[in-house]
Structure 1
Amino acid sequence: MKKIDVSILGCTGTVGQRLIEMLYNHPWFNIVSIAASERSAGKTYKDAAVNWYLPMDIPEDLRDTTVVDTDPSEAEAPLAFSALPSEIAKEVEGKFAEAGCVVTSNASSYRMEKDVPLIIPEVNPDHLQLIDVQKENRGWRGYIVTDPNCTAIGLAMVLKPIHDHFKLDTVYVNTMQAISGAGLPGVPGLLITDNVIPYIKGEEPKVMNETLKILGKMEDKQIKFADFKIVASCNRVPVIDGHTETVFIRTKEPADIEEVKKVLREFKGEPQELNLPSAPKQPIIVREEEDRPQPRLDRMAGTVPGMSATVGRIRPGFDENTLLLTLISHNTIRGAAGAVVLNAELLYAKNYL
């Protein structure tokens, strides 16, 4: 398979750094340019990424690579991975798509647009049908595909098989979100150490609205949102990586707990069928221990570290139509960079590139 040249937009933040990690030596993609804001453009990557977040070193042959501006004429590649801040992604990603580039984006700017696919490859690959609608609506030669909010990804992936088998009625989710989700430089230490912050700006509407879009159905060239009720409460906690979510679920059909565990364990999707490089063999891992999952122990679970969601404490509620569970997913891998990469792999495997 011939490698495709790619650019990384927003290469200096936590997600951009994860993209460097996941795309360097990728079997299908070849990094040819790295781009960032005017503040970083013109610098070498080692000078621009001064707050390096990962335990691995910057790859040697990228250290002295010059960071270019986020302009299609400078970041020349047919495929762009965007880790841009949402406040600038709307304009920049649109310019790239208009210029004929395929943009697979982690930014929130286009997620809820009616003609933009919001994709978890195991959950809703059929939503890629919106690509043709998007190009027709906007007159773009390229297009944009987005991945969901880092919290919504783990949640929607776990809810998918439950919804398919038992039909969701109501979901209450309480999140305990890692500090890496706030980006760099992140939450000041004096605010988060020995503390829980019970509010993350804009997070709760994203979790609720994006989940309903992801689990919706394609009808007449548009997405009909899922019709269950969902409420979210989002908290920042002093954990470096890995979002924990406790979920109360009411189903329309009786949900036997052992059957719920079975459908979660057996859940697979197109990435597993297509054997995509970044796809874990088991997207959902079920733990039976009474004190699992835990972020420190489970965030890197799976055959592709950080790309599986881990679920535990699956237990009955107050009747046969209610249950509770706890899930963990890695917010900067499965919830961000890994999701962007997996989306691009799906596009390539399905001949959208």
Structure 2
Amino acid sequence: MIQKIWFTFIWSTIKCGLFFYSKKINVLGKKNIPKKGAVLFAVNHPNGLLDPLYVTTTNKRQNHFLVRAASFKHPFIKKILVSLYLMPIYRVRDGVQQLSNNQEIFEKCHAILKKKETLMIFPEGSHNKKRTVRPLSKGFIRIVFGALEKYKDLEITVVPVGITYQHTSHYPAKVSINYGKPITTRSLYESHPIPKSTRILKEKVQEQLKVLSVHIPDNLEYERILQQLNNAQIDFTEVTKTNEMIEARKFPSKKPPKKNYLKPLLYLIKLNSILPYIIWKKISKNINEVEFIDTFRFSLNLFLCVLFYSIQATIISRYFGSALGLFYLTTSALLIIIYVKLAPTNAKEDTALV
């Protein structure tokens, strides 16, 4: 019970934080989310730990997550992640000897599905900002078929989920979350030999992900197509429209990026958040993977800015009255909302706005 209250509190905090962080969160296909029963969400993975945050805060099911084991190295961080229903999944790069730990994790996943709860898995196996759906690993199918084998009366629904960002690592974020058609697995599992059932389920999920997110085939044409889309200032979060252009190889003419007339407001926000901004600039120099920029920036902004604004509001209240302190806090939040919701998000920018 305590864990559920804690999870709900964190879920609500993150959802509020994403509202302030995102220009627009476009959610499609919510009717495809089963209201009850065992569900496995199979999600593409372009942008670090921000991907599960967007998915879990756009559906009402309480999700359990499988994330890469490297995130669990620090004991304190591990306790927090476990309390939020995150579980580690081990890969070859984590050490061959570590792979045996996956069996225990799979058993936990089977138990979760038996209780008709939900799992969220990223079957591409790693994050990558490339606008292409990469080959899927079979780990999620092993979990599904393992649970079906163990519990003969269990039905598990797989729901592919496509995530597309206007651009990763840039602020404010603009993102599309697209829930695909549910795939029931019991009849598929029982109708064919395991190798064939595995291939069919894998292909069904992969084909949906190519429609639910922007997919540029990863071949010699990839860079040319991406450049043409960027030059045309395409809104990538209009997924269907963008994929139709890619399929037809017909792109609009080149357009100049929209000018950001709100940049002075951004500088004012930075000045008002000077200590969190300095801390972020120092930390950002040590981020080696571009897919983690959004993750760290969002996390730091969510906690440091709230703390910093609260301290400043308290100081103002003490010396100038509570009304002025409340006015400062409200104005600070309003300035962020105005910038985030109204600043342009071009298809490509020279530098990330921090």
Answer yes or no: same fold by TM over 0.5: no
- Higher fraction of strand: 1
TM-score category (smaller protein): under 0.3
Q: How high is the TM-score relative to the length of structure 2? A: 0.27
- Higher fraction of helix: 2
Q: How high is the TM-score relative to the length of structure 1? A: 0.27
